[in-house]
Structure 1
Amino acid sequence: MRNLIVSTIFLLSLASCKKSGRDGGSVITPPAPPEAKEYTFEASPMWADEFDYTGAPDPNSWTYDTGDHGWGNNELQNYTTDAKNVQVKDGMLTITAIKEPSGSKAYSSTRLVSRGKKDFTYGRLEVKAKLPSGRGTWPAIWMLPTARTYGDWPKSGEIDVMEHVGYDPNVVHFSIHSEAYNHVINTQKTATRQIPTAMTDFHLYRVDWTPAYIRGFFDGVQVFSFANDGKGYASWPFDKAFHVLINIAVGGNWGGVQGVDDTVFPAAMLVDYVRLYKLIP
């Protein structure tokens, strides 16, 4: 009798997740949005790089994307691991874009990534940085999925914690991309704010990533919010492990809209720290 009761409950639970289609078959009902609640985060970082050492970025935390193939945006730089493009010194990380022949390109730079080292699902990420200046620079602090579970970009998602294009000085962007929401189909979800000293002072760029929402903050002030609508991966692919990227691109579909001013190079982005805080269940 106990087995019969358990079986009956199981079948009823399955039935509650389905409804009849017009052809008499079963149609899976999309999952409901997660409970609307405020999430909190642990007070101490679960991972941090304070850059309190000298030399190459910590290999226990960072690796590199390298190459000169344009990175899907017709970018003009070759990404390298060379010390002239990336180094840690005087308590900070410096990524430098340089005007020089590099690979098949006329510029070199670095794209530093935590992929395979510090991947995470949900959390609060904080990065304190000072941005490069000059037309043609395109620095970014962002996140990509470590595995493309739902398919190639934009299906598996992207979170841009900070983007800045040099021809639009001190205007900083926070964005998310998914299959349903991305700039290619003009449905992007973006917040844009002016930070008058973004290129001369350090500022704090932050994302709070939870099962229910993604929120963006500049210097502790919320500028962006995107809710999980419960309609599946097309709008919310943000339930898998992501990793952090920090880079300076040169030119490209956005950064190069008004050309590149070669007199601004070398152009550097300085990062004081990267801190990741665990989501409290």
Structure 2
Amino acid sequence: MSSAASTAVTTPQVATPQRPGTPNDSLGRNPFSDGVESQASNRTGNGGGNPFASPSGSRPPSSFDSSSASAARYEDRSGRYFHSRRVPKGDIEKPWAKHADPKEKWVTIIPVIGIFVGLAISGFLVWDGIRSVIKHNYCLVLAEDFRNGLDKSIWQKEVQVGGFGNGEFEQTTGGNDNVNTDGGSLVIKATLQDDSLMQQAYTIDLLKDGTCTSTSPADCIAVTNITAGNSSIVPPVLSGRINTKPGAHIKYGRVEITAKLPVGDWLWPAIWMMPVADTYGPWPASGEIDIVESRGNDHWHPQGGNNIASSALHWGPNPANDGWWRTNVKRSALHTTYAAGFHTFGLEWSQKYLFTYIDSRLLQVLYVNFDTPMWDRGNFPVVNSNGTRLENIWRNTTRLNTPFDEPFYLILNLAVGGTNGWFEDNVAGKPWLDGSPNAKKDFWQAKNKWFPTWSQPQLEVSKVMMWQQCDGNEDL
């Protein structure tokens, strides 16, 4: 067995370049390392560098400086730093600037043309609308500010107990407690009737004392009957209703009433017009114009309270066929109520149209264009509920606006309750039913609930203006 001598070969050691600021560590390791880095270096052969760094050989030459020293420095950092360069602004190619598409100009031209065409059409429509509006001349009929009280040659206080056909619960009086002008404006106020009149046999007979303004006994006589099985009582509330039938009425024209509406449950203010004569028959055959109606209830009332103003026309051959629902519009007050301050409620009426408005003619509520006969507009049935044939009661006129072609007078009133549906049954705690024979008594017995809400139980009117159309067309 032979033996060989071991020869030690000494390999020259090449000094490892030091990183600037790095301590002279014989292994080239990070002096702040916890040892994990060194173990990873041994596995990856990354010389103690970042195990997640990109090898310097994978970097493009352009990422290094041109000088060999800089290149060596960046290469030694093993891709730890990202090197970027700016492309000079002039070197960026802009092919769209060299070769402009001639169609591109239409991208600007077409919208500009569209804008000018739209403005021209809008201007024409405005001009045509203004040109086509019928302009009327008006003659003043009534200018009332109530500073001198109520002129009896113009105004009439209605004294009745019948509820004006609506089953209302008030008695309208001629006394100053319910209708007065002491404060420089007209105040129509609701007050309570004497409780004792509902608790004993009692009769109000306005025919006997000669004060009733109606000839119908139902409008002039009311009775409290306390016999068994009978619950009729006299009206539990006093209020007022006045009209201009004696001295101020118009056939076509304008009406403006500046008023503040009441506050209180089941109060029913109304500003409306009725025909001077029942030319075409009893209501609603001769028409009715409601400029504004409202409710004194709070705004939360499902049907709307004093934040809602309603305008309507009533017209038809009989009460069962009243076409009011085809000409009825409501308008809500904006962030307020019509009881919070004074508003102007207006009507403009001609042989071609009729509209109501609030505060400005631009804020229209109801608009009716008399372009078709009212009978055709109503689409009334051929026969009545009892089987009798319904005839066109306005067939003898050639006017499209009949029955709204006769003189009408103005009415201002404050009603309370009623059984005609203005206050819907079983809504908002309504204490009576319209079809009940005890409706009036049920209302009165619930006064501890509704009377405390009457914080402003009055319709206050500061001005009434009426103009007659006087341009020669009012006789059409």
Q: Normalising by structure 2, report the TM-score.
A: 0.48
Residues 115 and 97 (structure 1), Cα distance of their counterparts in 2 relative to 1, 3 Å cut: same
CA displacement 1:196-229 (0-9 Å, x = unmatched) = 2301100000000111111111111112211223
Aligned AA for 2:278? Answer: R
Relative to its length, the structure with more helix (as a share) is 2
* Higher-Rg member (1/2): 2
Q: 1:61 to 1:180 in 2, by over 3 A?
A: same
- Aligned AA for 2:313? I
Is 1:40 equivalent to 2:164 in the alignment? no
Q: How does 1:62-141 map to 2 (within 5 A)?
A: 62-101=155-194, 103=204, 104-141=234-271
What's the CA shift for 1:65? 2.3
Check the 8 A contact 2:314/2:324 in 1, yes or no. no
User: Where does residue 313 of structure 2 map in the other structure?
Assistant: 176
Partner of residue 300, structure 2: none
Partner of 1:161 in structure 2?
291
Map 1:42-61 onto structure 2 (within 5 A). Answer: 42=138, 45-54=140-149, 57-61=150-154
RMSD: 2.4
The answer on whether the counterparts of 2:169 and 2:415 sit within 8 Å (CA) in structure 1 is: yes
1:210 aligns with 2:343: no
Task: Specify whether residues 172 and 80 from structure 1 end up closer, same or farther in structure 2 by C-alpha distance, changes over 3 A only.
Answer: same
CA-to-partner distance for each residue in 1:158-186, whole Å, 9 max, x for gaps?
00001002232211001111117988567
Instruction: Tell me how many residue pairs correspond in the alignment.
Output: 243
Offset at residue 41 of structure 1 (A)? 4.0
Secondary structure in 1 aligned to 2:452?
A: helix
Q: Which 4+ runs in 1 deviate beyond 4 A?
A: 180-186
* AA partner of residue 130 (structure 1): K
Contact between 1:122 and 1:210, CA under 8 Å: does it hold in 2?
Answer: yes
- For residues 38 and 181 of structure 1, the distance between their equivalents in structure 2, rounded to whole angstroms, comes to 33
Report if the CA contact (8 A) 1:180-1:187 is conserved.
no
Structure 1 length-normalised TM:
0.79
CA distance in 1 between counterparts of 2:355 and 2:141 reads 19
Q: Is 1:276–2:466 an aligned residue pair?
A: yes
- Give 5+ residue unaligned stretches, structure 2: 1-131, 198-203, 205-233, 298-303, 375-393, 396-400, 425-429, 432-442, 444-449, 472-476
Question: Of residues 399, 407, 414 in structure 2, which corresponds to 1:248?
Answer: 414
The structure, 1 or 2, with the larger RCO (C-alpha pairs under 8 Å, 6+ apart) is 1
Identical aligned residues as a percent: 29
Aligned AA for 2:355? R
Note if contact 1:141-1:247 (Cα within 8 Å) is conserved in structure 2. yes
Deviation at 1:255, TM superposition (A): 4.6
